[in-house]
Every structure is written in C-alpha cells, then in structure tokens.
Structure 1
Amino acid sequence: MPPPRRLVVWCPDWPVVAAVLAAGLDPVAPAAVFVANRVLACSQTARDNGVRRGMRRREAQGRCPDLAVCEHDPARDARLFEPVVAAVESLAPGVEVVRPGLVAVPAKGPAGYFGSEVDAAERVVDEVAARADAECQVGVADGLFAAILAARRGVVVEPGGGPGFLAPMRIDEIDYPGVDRGELVDLLRRLGIRTLGDFAALPASDVATRFGRDALVAHRAASGREERPPERRALPPDLVVSESLDPPVERVDAAAFVAKALAERLHVRLGELGLACTRLGISARTEHGEELHRMWRCAEPLTPSGTADRVRWQLDGWLSGRRGAQRPTAGVELLSLHPDEVVGAGALQLDLVNSATGEADARAGRAFVRVQGMLGPDAVLVGVLGGGRDLRDRVRLVPWGDERVPTLDPERPWPGRIPAPSPAVLPDSPWPAAVLDADEQPVRITDRHRLTAAPVRVVVSGGRSRTVRGWAGPWPVEERWWSESAALAPRLVTRVQVVLEAEGEVGEVALLLVHEDGRWWVQGAYR
C-alpha cells in the first residue's frame, strides 16, 4: 500500500531569504547563511559565483568577495515564515510545518476542492505570492520524502510512481537541511552506492545490521515508503499540557520561558508512558479570545530542547508578525502543547557513547530549567569557545537552552593568539600588577615592543610579591589599527609569561602578564 499523498510547499533558500529580509539587504545581492563556519544556505546569485552548501566561510568569500555573511537564526526563519504558513492554511487545512521554509498538507482535500493536484498546486503558489510576497515551489507525491523532492523540482508525481521517481536521484538527496545524514552519504558513496535506487535495492535487514537505525529510516524513504513505519499509538487523554499566563504576555522572551517549562512537563509525561512525540500541536489563546494553532512535524522524535525550540519559534512568529491575520491583537493568556502523533520511546535511541550519560544529562537539564525558573534565564550560563587573540574574547557565556554560537569565528586564523596550554585560572577582571627590574624600577615597553629590563620581581594587587625565575616574550598584538570608530577602537597590547619562584607551601606558579596603556595586568595563571 503506497503512503498517503502529500502536497509540499517549499520556499527555496529560505534561511537566506529570511536573513536578507530581516537585514534589509538587496534581494538579488549574493548572500549566505553560515552554521559552524560552513554554508547552510546561499542565494542563487551566490551560487552563480561558485558558493555551495557545506563550503567553509573563507573559501566562499574567496569565490565571492561581495558575499553578505549572515548568521543562522532559526527563530528569525520561523517568525518570517509564518505568513507563508498562514497563506497555505487559508487554502488547505491540516498544515504541518516540517521546518521553516517547508510545509506539508494532505493532498486529497485541496485536489478534490480545486479539481486536481496540479490546479491545487497552482493556487497555492499564487496565494503565497499574493499574501506573503514570497516565491515557492509545490510538489505532490506519495509520502513526505518523495513530495519534498518533488517540490524541489516543482512536479506532481503520479500515484504509485514514487519509487520510479526517486530511483535515478543521487544518493546525497537523503541528506537535506534539517536531517543530517552526511556521514551516511559519504559511507554509501565509498561502498559504490550512487543513487537512491541502488540504496533501495539493498535488503532492509542488511541495512539495519550494517548501518543502524537512521540508515533504515533513510532506506524506507529511498524505497518510496513512509520514513517511519505506520505503528501509531492511541493518544492517552491526559497528554495535553497547558499554562495560564497572568498577566497575558506579549513579549516573545517571556512566553518562550513558559514554553521551556511546558516542554519539560510534556516530556516527563511522555516518558512515564513510554512514548515519544513525532508531531506536535502548539495552541495559544489571547486575551481577546483569538485562537491560534499550528502543527509541527519532525523527522525524528522530539527531545525536550527540540520541543522548546519549536514553541519559541512559533510564538515568535505569532507575536512578532504583522498586524492582521498573522499577529494577534492582544497578549497570550493560555499556552497549550499536545502531541498529535506519538511512537514508542524505543524510536528515540541513544548511541553507545551517550547511553550511559543520557538520562543524567536529561535530569541535569531539567534541574537547570528549574533554577532558571526561580532565578531567571541568566542564572545558568554555559561557556562557548570561539576565536580571538585575547583569552577573554574566546569564551562567551550564554544562558542554558539558548543557541551556543561563538562571538568570533573559531576557524579563522588568529595570529598572536596565546598558544596552548591555556591558563588554568582566568580572573573575572585582570589583577593590577607591577613588574620590577633588578634596581626595583618599573619595567616598561619601548616603542619597538621591547622590555626596558629583565623582569626580576612581580607585585600583584594586595602586595603579594614573588621573585621571577624565568620569563618569555614579549609578544605584541596590534588589533583594529585601521579603525576610527569609538566602538572598535585600535588596541595595542604586549604579553609576557613569567615563572615565579616557589615560596613555602605555595609551589611554582606561572603568570600571563599583559601590558596595555602603560600598565601591567595579570590576565591568567598557570598551575
């Protein structure tokens, strides 16, 4: 029995479209969105200049010097995609957001109402262009995976023609945004499997034994079947979790904070029943009685953080949208989550490395959320290592649950950066210090970045004095020498490493000293 027919609406390069729209850039300018220093999506103009998905930032900018670099922001993508979803929903009920830029609806209803699947697709394209001012492509096929690929090509695949439609396509089609199967694609290529048809021809038992569960899901999709087997569980009546908001909230950050707690409650209940959610309904009621509802479909069973992310994106789309059909006229007073489709919890499997710590990590995450609930989001911070020459520039603290994006690109070369190992102690603010020579005179830095004398003694704030046993440097770093902006003022610092003599029970200590604006500071200590 073939999978149910799906009508999929795809907005090409949506992360780039949303980033360009939010930044007010020229729509035809070359632009790309980056994640972990690699291209996630790029505009057609950038592709014409040689930029490709997965390319490193330096290579992409080398091929297209005028490339506009944008950071990935899922909340921005979802917020700006909401008018497109509303336009599709006005023609076809049962809209499921697969991800920002891609929505799916059952094809039977629109096809019957408008006369045919082709007519329904044409109406959806016109409606999205008129109501959301966005370009889209529509595809219809048996099953979600085949319909997604049909939408990329703007075609309608005849019923039962899914396997033949998929067979000649390249094997890398199973690795698409939102589903990372890059390692599987690379392995299949090395084994000589080049097309989806070659992959589908393998016995399912051999795929499961050799490659694992995710490969089996991809194998079902390549064969023209549903990615998940049709084993759906009856929904218990008490799975809906709701929270009344008093006073009603109109700010996304306040509503999203409630969403985190709701996501935790939902997943605790699902865990008790041995279930995992694969399709999530998000509902909200405003102070004026407006009812808002949206369905999110997921390629994999949702985790608590994945649920919270989707709720936050959806609230951002509702509360930050334009006045009218997309934006409510009052604050949200009731927020509800309800699973629309669940599978057995065995579908959410941990690998051998994480299986021992997965439950502990989940408990720790719930504890962090509770602390944030009592003390605020900034009460639990996580360090994110990035790039930079200064030690303090390389670490960014972000609230637990937020996207862990470094401030500076860690892949970029940073000449003058302190080499490994890094200091074990980094004070909240640098300690003032005095560096003295053999005559007890201050050691200074000349115009040629040389020391006026060898360091003999270091006096740290508080009067602690230690004899220098050895030292290395100086290493000057001149940053932003080209800038005339007050916000990005030029900076000249000189670093010196000193090893201090052991005294009493205190062993040998090494310090990282920084000379800036005529003064010495202790930036870090090695132990």
Structure 2
Amino acid sequence: MALWCPDWPATAAARGLDLVGTEPIAVLAAGKVVACSRSARRSGVRRGMRKRQAQAACPELTVTQDDPHRDGRFFESVVTAATAVIPMTEVLRPGLLVAAADRAARYFGGETGLAEAVAEAVEAIGVTAQVGVADQLFTAVLAARAGRIVSPGGDAAFLADRPVADLVIEPSLTVAGRDDLVNLLWRLGLRTLGRFAELDVADVASRFSADAVLAHRMASAEPGRRPARAPIPADLEVIHHCDPPVDRIDAAAFLGRRLAEDLHRRLSAAALACTRLTVHVVTEQGQWHSRTWRAAEPLTPDATADRVRWQLEGWLTAQDRPDSPLVRLILEPVELVDPGALQYVLTGAGLPPDSGAGGLGDRARRSLVRVQGLLGGEAVRVPVPSGGRGPAERVCLVTYGDEAALERPVDASWPDALARPLPALLSTGQAELLDAAGEPVAVTGRGAFSAEPVEVRMGRQQRRIHWWAGPWPFGIDDEPGARGGFSARAGAVMARAQVLLEPSPESGQSRALLLCYRGAAWSVEGVYE
C-alpha cells in the first residue's frame, strides 16, 4: 500500500503559515514554481513558472521558498495518522509512505476497506491523500497517484499502457541517470512500460546500463529491489545516550548529524551501504518512538542526517509529542547492500557550489580525503568554473575542501571572451601559420591576417588548412594606442583563430585547432573533438 499526498511541499508550507487549505500558495526553488496548491492551479499557476508569471496568473497567490526540513517536519503528523491504522510504515520521502498491506487488508475486510480507513485517518487531520494498493512497490506508488486499487496479479496489465516516463515520475524510486534511459527508450520507440517490459532481460542487460535492468523489472511488475542478503553486523547500530536529555529542535538536529557521520564511518569500515534506516528514540519516561525510511539509492551522510533531523523535528513539534525529553537515540540500518556493486556518479550530493568539492560524489570525496591524508592537503586540487576569456582561464584549480575564492568571477562581464563551444583538450604547443609562399602569417595592427593562411607547422609536422575563421583580437588596453586588444604595433596584438586541418593521410581524420597569437608568435591553445 502506498499513501501519496499531492503537492506536499505546498501543503506543508500552508500548514507552516497557518493558511486555509483553499488559499492559493506556491513553493519556489531557484526562482521557479516546484509545487502549488489545487486552488493555485485552477488560477493558471503551473510548475516551472517563474515567480512573476505565477503572480500574474494569480494575484492573490502566497509565495514561499522551498524548505525540505519543513516538508519532513510536518509530514510526521501524516505518518502518525497512517500508523494508527496500519503499523510498520516506511517513509520514502515527505509526502509518500508505503506499508505491507496483506495482513492489514484481511483485518479490514479487503484492500478497499484498508484504503478507505487510511485515507479517512489522514483526512481527519486536514490533509488530502490518495491511496493505492498493488502487488509491487513501484506499481503501488503509481496506483496511489491514480487513486487505484490493482487487483492481485494485475500489476503488469495496469502498467502496460502507462508512459515510459513513469520510470522517473517518483524521485524516491529513481536513481541518477534514469532520465537518460527514459529519453533513450523514447527515441527507440518504446513509449510505454508494456513495450519496454516486452524486451528480453538479457538484451536489456547487454544494451543498457545496470539501472536499466532494475527499471525493466519495475516495468515488468517484478520486485524492483531484491531483499537484502547481507547480514547486519551487531556493531553497526549507533546508540547515543543523551546527557542532558534533548528537548530542543536545534540540539536534536546537531545530534542527528553527528550520529549520521558515526553510522557512515561504521558502514564504510564494514564495506556496506544502507538503503533502509530506522530511527528510534526513547524518552525519560520510557516511551518508545520508531520510524523507518527507505531510499532508492544508498544513503549518504548528508541524506541520513536530513532524515534524522526531519524525524526528530516532527516528533518534537507534533501535537502528540513525546511525553518527556529524549534520553536515547538509536540509528538502526535494516537493509544493507554491497557498495562495490553500486554505480556511483560524479555528481554533487547536495554540496554547496562554493565548497570546492568539484561536484564529486560521496565515494570520490572519500577517496580524495584519503589521498590528502597520505600526501598532504595541498596535494589534492579539484577544478571549479572560473571567469575568463580563454578556455584555460575558465577553469581554476582549488585545494579540495577549501572554499573556492575565485579571482575571476564567473558571472562578471568578459568582453572578447571566446564563444562556445570550447575546445575539449587544452594545449600549450607552439605553431606557425604559413601562407601560400611558405612565409609566416601574423596578425596586423588592425586585427587581420597579414596573408591568407594555408598551412600549419607544429614541430616537424606540417598540415594544410581546409577551413579557417578569425582572427578575433582580445586583451586589455595596456599598450599605448591600444584599443580592443590591438594597437598600432603588430607585436602588441593578441588574437585567436580557429583552423580545420585537412584529413591526415595515415588516419584519414581531420582536426580542428584553436590558435592563439601572443607576443608575435602562434601557439595551439586547444583541440576540438
């Protein structure tokens, strides 16, 4: 069984602002609408709109910024209401929870009775929710979005006509790179989940990525993730005795982050990763509270800390909050996988853009920290975007872990900057441009070629030019009489040009070069692929 709260970020924001459920509200992130209430949609507000567009469509619209912590804190009341009907729920994300429905359905006289009981319990606290029931988790989540109860054995028929884009419709069940898979399937003509499920699993495994096999199982109404086989060592559970007892949100959040780091140190030492985590708290008077969180990919330290914080904030701010301060906090990993079998991507895992981490994933960051311990902090440097005119200037190396204090801001104005696309390979090799008579070609004081270039000489190699563009002067007015990067003195001219070489007789391939003229000499600044 899956319980889905539509537009949960907007619902949580309205509850935080004490707004009536019928008032229009929109949640913004990066200046665009990411969630809005039903009344706002009726007025024409849509996800992806900019703030001014949304306010123009609905002048009475209340606008607030996206806050994941607020979403997690207010979702605890929904989880509590659902847990009162069916125990042992698992939270996939704020706004979506799942639970095993077989035994509960028998108690309520069927799956319809169970769905009605859970929906009524949640609506009793003023939250609109939809419930779906199916054999598999992925199907149940899609059924909840449609408000459907899929009959036993009917998952494949329910999924057959649904669009293949449903593989990425739910973030908590989507891993990195799934968007590329969906786009590829669409271009191949596999527009529905049923068409994708018709493919042989061996063909999927040999043609696509490892995640495609998981997506194929989901589209085929098979279990999307097999039960964990790795035994859970007893020493992985993190138990913290709070002294003094914790009753404030800020103290609980700080404690949760510290325990999350402790848990992941233990997981790393055991060469394991956690995909399901249960958070337990015990109060002074012996009251016990537990909640399980499930993730599509292994939890990172930051993701674990966020879930612990959301859970503790939800408990400490709920109406039926714990009867006394918290004296014990337990993080229990309940599903483990081998991290060696997982695909890690080199994408930022919630890091701020100025962290100097270069957008690296969790596994890569741990490796860099280990290298720093062996070679010293200054020995590890990572690239970050920088401002500048040339391709080499637009990348700056900073010490890993340090704040990227850039001398050349990216968002500054850079006149005469090289237009995209930029060369894929940077180079510093010397070169000569020659005309038809074999004489060197320079750049005049007016910023033009002294003669039409015909050949390029690079060391002992000499290649004919098939096509050329430029030159484009650049630089700073630091010469007497200079203007726009060139002056009356030809030696003070700085310019760039692009040349496409004739195909090589050996390989039959041509190359495109970016040439830089500086100090009355040419050099190869970059190679295009």
**Normalising by structure 1, what TM-score?**
0.64
How far is the alpha carbon of 1:52 from its aligned partner?
3.2
1:152 is aligned to 2:145: yes
Q: In structure 2, what is the Cα distance between the partners aligned to 1:138 and 1:34?
A: 27
How far is the alpha carbon of 1:161 from its aligned partner?
0.7
How far is the alpha carbon of 1:80 from its aligned partner?
1.0
- Structure 2 residue corresponding to 1:42, chosen from 19, 32, 36: 36
1:286 is aligned to 2:283: yes
Q: In structure 2, what is the Cα distance between the partners aligned to 1:46 and 1:310?
A: 29
Q: In structure 2, what is the Cα distance between the partners aligned to 1:251 and 1:347?
A: 40
Q: In structure 2, what is the Cα distance between the partners aligned to 1:136 and 1:353?
A: 33
1:97 — aligned with what? 91
Q: In structure 2, what is the Cα distance between the partners aligned to 1:237 and 1:96?
A: 22
The higher radius of gyration belongs to 2
Q: In structure 2, what is the Cα distance between the partners aligned to 1:295 and 1:241?
A: 15
How far is the alpha carbon of 1:353 from its aligned partner?
7.8
Q: In structure 1, what is the Cα distance between the partners aligned to 2:63 and 2:196?
A: 36
Q: In structure 1, what is the Cα distance between the partners aligned to 2:163 and 2:478?
A: 64
1:339 is aligned to 2:333: yes
How far is the alpha carbon of 1:135 from its aligned partner?
1.8
Distance 1:317 1:55, change over 3 A: same
1:126 — aligned with what? 120
Distance 1:35 1:190, change over 3 A: farther
Q: In structure 1, what is the Cα distance between the partners aligned to 2:346 and 2:33?
A: 30
Distance 1:314 1:357, change over 3 A: closer
1:137 — aligned with what? 130
How far is the alpha carbon of 1:365 from its aligned partner?
8.2
Q: Contact between 1:32 and 1:43, CA under 8 Å: does it hold in 2?
A: yes
The one-letter code sitting in structure 1 at the alignment partner of 2:141 is I
Percent of pairs with identical residues = 48
Distance 1:155 1:201, change over 3 A: same
1:433 — aligned with what? none
Q: Contact between 1:286 and 1:328, CA under 8 Å: does it hold in 2?
A: yes
1:188 is aligned to 2:192: no
2:154 — aligned with what? 161
1:207 — aligned with what? 204
How far is the alpha carbon of 1:295 from its aligned partner?
0.6
1:328 is aligned to 2:318: no
How far is the alpha carbon of 1:86 from its aligned partner?
0.9
- Structure 2 residue corresponding to 1:75, chosen from 55, 69, 72: 69
The one-letter code sitting in structure 1 at the alignment partner of 2:191 is R
1:275 — aligned with what? 272
* Alignment map for 1:244-255 (pairs within 5 Å): 244-255=241-252
How far is the alpha carbon of 1:203 from its aligned partner?
2.9
- Structure 2 residue corresponding to 1:107, chosen from 101, 122, 126: 101
Look up the SS of the partner of 1:169 in the other structure: coil
Distance 1:254 1:347, change over 3 A: farther
Q: Contact between 2:24 and 2:38, CA under 8 Å: does it hold in 1?
A: yes
- Structure 2 residue corresponding to 1:311, chosen from 295, 308, 311: 308
1:15 — aligned with what? 9
Q: In structure 1, what is the Cα distance between the partners aligned to 2:47 and 2:478?
A: 53
The one-letter code sitting in structure 2 at the alignment partner of 1:270 is L
* Alignment map for 1:355-504 (pairs within 5 Å): 358-359=362-363, 361-362=365-366, 419-420=413-414
Distance 1:318 1:122, change over 3 A: same
1:174 is aligned to 2:174: no
1:234 — aligned with what? 231
How far is the alpha carbon of 1:313 from its aligned partner?
0.5
Q: Contact between 1:92 and 1:109, CA under 8 Å: does it hold in 2?
A: no
How far is the alpha carbon of 1:220 from its aligned partner?
1.7
1:460-511 Cα shifts (integer Å, max 9, x gaps) = xxxxxxxx999xxxxxxxxxxxxxxxxxxxxxxxxxxxxxxxxxxxxxxxxx
1:364-395 Cα shifts (integer Å, max 9, x gaps) = 7899xxxxxxxxxxxxxxx9x9xxxxxxxxxx
The one-letter code sitting in structure 1 at the alignment partner of 2:25 is A
The one-letter code sitting in structure 1 at the alignment partner of 2:188 is L
1:225 is aligned to 2:222: yes
The one-letter code sitting in structure 2 at the alignment partner of 1:90 is A
Q: In structure 1, what is the Cα distance between the partners aligned to 2:335 and 2:199?
A: 29
**Normalising by structure 2, what TM-score?**
0.64
Q: In structure 2, what is the Cα distance between the partners aligned to 1:97 and 1:210?
A: 33
1:29 is aligned to 2:17: no
1:127-171 Cα shifts (integer Å, max 9, x gaps) = 2222x2222111100111100111112111111110110111112
1:300 is aligned to 2:293: no
Q: Contact between 1:239 and 1:269, CA under 8 Å: does it hold in 2?
A: yes
- Structure 2 residue corresponding to 1:87, chosen from 81, 88, 96: 81
Distance 1:93 1:274, change over 3 A: same
How far is the alpha carbon of 1:257 from its aligned partner?
1.2
- Structure 1 residue corresponding to 2:263, chosen from 263, 266, 269: 266
The one-letter code sitting in structure 1 at the alignment partner of 2:36 is C
Q: In structure 1, what is the Cα distance between the partners aligned to 2:341 and 2:48?
A: 29
Q: Contact between 1:276 and 1:347, CA under 8 Å: does it hold in 2?
A: no
1:23-65 Cα shifts (integer Å, max 9, x gaps) = 2234223322233333322222232334333445455445444
Distance 1:60 1:192, change over 3 A: farther
Look up the SS of the partner of 2:133 in the other structure: strand
The one-letter code sitting in structure 2 at the alignment partner of 1:184 is L
Q: Contact between 2:346 and 2:361, CA under 8 Å: does it hold in 1?
A: no
| Ranges in structure 1 where 5+ consecutive residues have no aligned partner | 1-6, 368-382, 386-399, 401-416, 422-467, 471-527
The one-letter code sitting in structure 2 at the alignment partner of 1:24 is D
Aligned residue pairs total: 370
Greater CA drift, 153-162 or 218-227: 218-227
Q: Contact between 2:197 and 2:216, CA under 8 Å: does it hold in 1?
A: yes
Q: Contact between 1:248 and 1:331, CA under 8 Å: does it hold in 2?
A: yes
Look up the SS of the partner of 2:28 in the other structure: strand
1:199-249 Cα shifts (integer Å, max 9, x gaps) = 222333443444423333222211111221345322222221111111011
The one-letter code sitting in structure 1 at the alignment partner of 2:300 is T
Q: Contact between 1:107 and 1:117, CA under 8 Å: does it hold in 2?
A: yes
1:64-118 Cα shifts (integer Å, max 9, x gaps) = 4443322221111111111111111112121111111111111112111111111
Look up the SS of the partner of 2:231 in the other structure: coil
The one-letter code sitting in structure 1 at the alignment partner of 2:81 is A
The one-letter code sitting in structure 2 at the alignment partner of 1:81 is F
The one-letter code sitting in structure 1 at the alignment partner of 2:198 is A
Q: Contact between 1:264 and 1:366, CA under 8 Å: does it hold in 2?
A: no
Q: Contact between 2:300 and 2:362, CA under 8 Å: does it hold in 1?
A: no
Look up the SS of the partner of 1:141 in the other structure: coil
